[in-house]
Structure 1
Amino acid sequence: MYLSFSNAPVADKGTDARPGGRSRRRGVHTVSSTVITLGIVSLLTDISSESVSAILPLYITGFLGLSMIAFGVLDGMYQGVSAFVRIAGGHASDRLDQPKWVAFTGYALAALARVGLLFASGFAALTAVVTADRIGKGIRTAPRDALITAASEPEHLGHSFGVHRMLDNIGAALGPVIAFLILLVVPDGFHIVFVASLAFAVIGVVVLGLVVPNVRTRPRSGKDATAAVPKKRFEWGVIWQGPMRRLLAAAGILGLMTIGDGFVYLVLQARSEFAAQWFPLLYAGTNVAFLAFAIPLGRLADRVGRARVFVFGHLGLLAAYVVAAIAVEDILATVLCLVFLGLFYAATDGVLAALAAQLTTPETRGTGIAAAQTVVAVSRFASAAAFGLLWYAIGREQSMFVVAALLAVAIAVVAVLLWPFLSTPAGESA
């Protein structure tokens, strides 16, 4: 892998210059410095968010003493509240052609929400904090992914998203480790974790504001590379009809069968001394696996088809559910569960964004990515809330088996739904 850190590469005999720090040497794929810098911003932000996520199940059910149903609602909100603003954030990015500053607004709001964690001590307060944090995430995600798309070669888009997600998940792996070390030294030091989370979030916002260039996503005029092509009428049909309609339906069906990781970890913790002792590090384990698989699966998606990798990546999620549900109390079961979860996220997160970008036009790209992510967020919100009730009604292992069976059916249904993509060599050109 060749990484280019120049925001303005100089064209020479063997190099073509590209906007946004993107360049191509003959026979060598370069990754834009914009992608790298956005990855660093995501790394810092994920240290912030994942250090909190890693302790939230214990903080809610143990330290605050709230019920499993309350955790299910909060976890569902953590997964789904961003859905209410994702399309707005993506559409604002498309219409204003200011993806960096739309993303900056989202990152800044999420950082402000970290302040609220220092004072939240009940369900209502936590609901407000989680809502603000996830709204920030919803605003920033699609404009950030539109920046990545604009700064990348189309034929290597999966690789670029893989590199970004790799850096993102270095932070996602470090966050739980930091939380674990803090709680190891100060057993009830949840608020110390919240302070550290705030610090990393602020640093990420500063790096984004001062270092990341505002790469425009709207096509430029051929005579003047700084002048945008005049605005066209926004084509909503690109988002809601044709190939994108199939993708949105598939993402929604699979999202309904995707429960929050916190539930899986609580199942492992309830029956395994290993998982109970190292609970915050379970999040780190998943993200280390994500980190290992992100670039290889991104490249694989570019070669064999992003739709294929996206659909069959859910087999990793199915395997994780089965391993969690089987009553095996040892380290191997926990490690396998984390590896399968990491593989699932590596095969679906950036790949879904790359697929949505491929199926939309430059003028609708941010909105298209946001629409796909919105469907996933809404469906996962419903899934998490329903699973909390299911756990309460029939028990943890039984509820895991039910969801695993439903997911197996959903994968088969989606394979039929996306068959036009799965049956073509590129996976996206049908």
Structure 2
Amino acid sequence: MNQHLSEPDVNPEPHPEASNHVGLGRNVIALGWVAFFGGLAQDMIQPILPTFYTAVLGLNKEFIGLIEGSLTTVVSLMKIGAGYLSDALGLRKGLVFIGYALSALARFSLGLAGSRAVIFGLRVTDGIGKGLKDAPRDALVAGSAGDRKLGFAFGVQRTLDTLGSVAGPLIAYALLRVWVDHPHKYQEVFLVAGVVAAIPLLIIGLVVRERKAGQVKQRVAVTTLRGPFAWFLAVMLLFTLGNSSDAFLLLRVQDVGIAATTVPIIYALFNLVSAVAAIPAGSLSDRIGRRRTITLGWIVYVLTYLGFALAAKPWLIWGLYAFYGLYYALTEGAAKAMIAELVPDAGRGGAYGLYNAAIGVMALPASLIAGVLWTRVGPAAPFAFGSAVAAAAIVALTLAPRSETAR
């Protein structure tokens, strides 16, 4: 898969990104496996963190909202800098490597820490790592994919990432069953996840290749913020105001009456649906356009959050979580493909940084709002609020100006 740049390869070996006629290039597949093991490590931790926060550390919902909201906000700020830095240097791979290394260190260290202050610091460190890697990685994928296969390529990324997120909770569940009577079982899961998080470093170092970018480097310029791309970022900011941390969904699962030990299984079901649907959803966006596909995903989100607001029976949670997986499948790949169409290759690192910031900069107020609504109004309130804001974002996306190049 080819971006047809005039610059020579960094390495003299045959070009790692094959042409459009031979399918996906090596970088797309290798970065997919990087995402797989990164997602596996992350989602070994994610479904048990809320229980660890409350049962082990004794944190209240508002402080949980502060931790998770701060994490996502740090991720967003780092993504802006990392995206523009990767454009300025014309290099993506090194930043991706450093980002995964920081996340691996933070996840492993969770197993050695017990105080709320240290946990907060480690989660922020994990956020710094995630913020460093995501925008350059997305730019590497976009540069390794043919224009007609952008949706498909990001669908492959999403599928492998999410399959890792299926395996992660299942491994966490198995380990918790084995260590059911161990007083530090959660910390031991964190140690294992940290080891798994180091595997992407080997793949990046040994398999991923990169070419030097063209001579035109993208600077932090207002031109990146103009036109349809700027409207798209604004709509994403609106949507994210109602999109609080998924930790509140996991807390809602327990609130309805599902045992904490079963939460990883539900989380794995959600990720399985998302993984299975990601490639078809990416191909769908290649056919019907990115905007329509994102709108379909947000409709799924509205219905899912309404369901979480109204659900009173455990069996409903299983169905809602499975349905929720379609939201991620329909929106993530389509949004990234849309950005690749709106922004030229030289500025895509910065563009992906800005996009990722747009979906994260509102995470702190969104999660704080969710925590306050849960505590002072009721468990259903954050989900009713999120559903209403998402509906407003659908209207805003429909009214946003269209680009001649984006589908």
CA contact (8 A) 2:159 2:278 kept: yes
2:255 alignment counterpart: 270
1:198 counterpart = 2:194: yes
1:318 counterpart = 2:311: no
**2:33 & 2:204 partners in 1: Cα distance?**
9
1:213-241 CA-partner distances (Å, limit 9, x unpaired): 1244x24xxxxxxxxxx335637234211
In 2 relative to 1, CA 91–62 (structure 1 residues): closer, same or farther, beyond 3 Å? same
**2:243 & 2:402 partners in 1: Cα distance?**
24
Equivalent AA in structure 1 for residue 251 of structure 2: L
Q: 1:352 aligns with which of 335, 340, 353?
A: 335
CA contact (8 A) 1:73 1:385 kept: yes
Q: Give SS of 1:377's match.
A: coil
1:369 counterpart = 2:358: no
In 2 relative to 1, CA 238–32 (structure 1 residues): closer, same or farther, beyond 3 Å? farther
1:86-235 mapped onto 2 (5 Å cutoff): 86-187=79-180, 188=183, 189-216=185-212, 218-219=213-214, 230-231=215-216, 234=219
Equivalent AA in structure 1 for residue 190 of structure 2: F
1:383-404 CA-partner distances (Å, limit 9, x unpaired): 1121111111101023322332
1:400 counterpart = 2:383: yes
How many angstroms does 1:211 deviate by?
Answer: 1.4
CA contact (8 A) 2:231 2:401 kept: no
1:379 alignment counterpart: 362
1:219-276 CA-partner distances (Å, limit 9, x unpaired): 4xxxxxxxxxx33563723421112111110111111111222211211221233x64
Equivalent AA in structure 2 for residue 115 of structure 1: F
CA contact (8 A) 2:108 2:192 kept: no
**2:217 & 2:380 partners in 1: Cα distance?**
53
CA contact (8 A) 1:91 1:367 kept: yes
How many angstroms does 1:110 deviate by?
Answer: 1.1
2:230 alignment counterpart: 245
1:285 counterpart = 2:269: yes
**1:370 & 1:166 partners in 2: Cα distance?**
22
How many angstroms does 1:326 deviate by?
Answer: 1.5
CA contact (8 A) 1:116 1:129 kept: yes
**1:145 & 1:403 partners in 2: Cα distance?**
27
How many angstroms does 1:123 deviate by?
Answer: 1.9
CA contact (8 A) 1:142 1:370 kept: yes
Equivalent AA in structure 1 for residue 51 of structure 2: L
TM-score norm. by structure 1 comes to 0.87
Equivalent AA in structure 2 for residue 165 of structure 1: R
How many angstroms does 1:48 deviate by?
Answer: 0.9
1:409 counterpart = 2:392: yes
CA contact (8 A) 2:33 2:160 kept: yes
Q: Give SS of 1:20's match.
A: coil
**2:188 & 2:124 partners in 1: Cα distance?**
21
How many angstroms does 1:33 deviate by?
Answer: 1.7
CA contact (8 A) 1:150 1:215 kept: no
**1:125 & 1:330 partners in 2: Cα distance?**
34
CA contact (8 A) 2:301 2:324 kept: yes
1:225 alignment counterpart: none
**2:129 & 2:60 partners in 1: Cα distance?**
27
Equivalent AA in structure 1 for residue 303 of structure 2: A
Aligned length: 393
Q: Give SS of 1:396's match.
A: coil
Q: 1:306 aligns with which of 269, 277, 290?
A: 290
**1:176 & 1:93 partners in 2: Cα distance?**
32
CA contact (8 A) 1:51 1:179 kept: yes
Which shifted more, 69-78 or 146-155? 69-78
Equivalent AA in structure 2 for residue 283 of structure 1: Y
Q: 2:31 aligns with which of 35, 38, 55?
A: 38
**2:229 & 2:263 partners in 1: Cα distance?**
39
1:21 counterpart = 2:3: no
Equivalent AA in structure 2 for residue 252 of structure 1: L
Q: Which runs of 5+ in 1 are unaligned?
A: 4-17, 220-229
Q: Which runs of 5+ in 2 are unaligned?
A: 2-13
1:222 alignment counterpart: none
Equivalent AA in structure 1 for residue 167 of structure 2: L
TM-score norm. by structure 2 comes to 0.91
Equivalent AA in structure 2 for residue 306 of structure 1: R
How many angstroms does 1:380 deviate by?
Answer: 2.3
**1:247 & 1:402 partners in 2: Cα distance?**
22
